Amino acid sequence: MVEATPTIYARSPQTGPILQGELLSNVTQPHYEIESIGTTEPRFRLKVHPLVLVLSQDCDLELDFRAREKKEEPKYMPNVLLCEVEQAEILRRGNPGMNSTIWDRIWRNKDERYHFLEQVPVEADATGKGLAHLGLDFKRHFTIPTDELYRRIGLQDPVEKVERRCSLVSPYLEHLSARFAYFMHRVALPRDHTSD
């Protein structure tokens, strides 16, 4: 008997709350131009993230969504925690010091800073496009206001619309979440332990 390959992804729903472990494409993040801060005319630029993964907890996202439906503003979650996602090959080539030994740890998810995701099949992607192997650098996390993210998901304009693609399923979701929590929980020591 041939064992079925475990499913890693599920297609994103197009309604309802954003999900932890969900991949979103075309997320725009405004950044102030540093030299304009403190002037009478601050300027900003838009950074487009082609692909991000939602790190906020499902329970918080669900409670926030319900509060928004009932218009209970004090219960809103002000921001969603996201992490940039890149094609794994771009992540690898973009880091000159990443030799084959380091890459071997990364694609096996044995390096605390990075997380590797296998390719997303066409049938698991709500856009029907599929995605190549992916990589996350946990140092590249950021937030977006929750109401702004939902507004962009609801847009019809393909240039400004955020697309809900797919999400990790259990236990792959918990694996990613635990690895990110460990990365954020690291303790820097003033020096390493020594041995004679």
Per-residue pLDDT band for 6 (boundaries 50, 70, 90) equals confident
Instruction: For residue 76, give the 3-state DSSP assignment.
Output: coil
Q: Tens digit of pLDDT for each residue in 57-93?
A: 999 999 999 999 998 888 889 999 999 999 999 999 9
Please state which CATH number belongs to domain 18-184.
Answer: 2.30.30.110
Task: Give buried/exposed letters for 29-61 (b at 16+ CB in 10 A, else e).
Answer: beeeeeeeeeeeeeeeeeeebebbbbbbebeeb
Query: Cis peptide leading into 171, omega within 30 of 0?
Result: yes
The pair of structure tokens assigned to 190 is: 């003033």
What residue ranges do the domains of the chain occupy?
Answer: 18-184
pLDDT at 2: 57
Mean per-residue pLDDT for 150-175? 95
Q: What is the pTM of this model?
A: 0.91
Query: In terms of Cα–Cα distance, which of 84, 176, 87, 175 is closest to 131?
Result: 87
Q: Residue 101 pLDDT more than 80?
A: yes
pLDDT at 159: 87
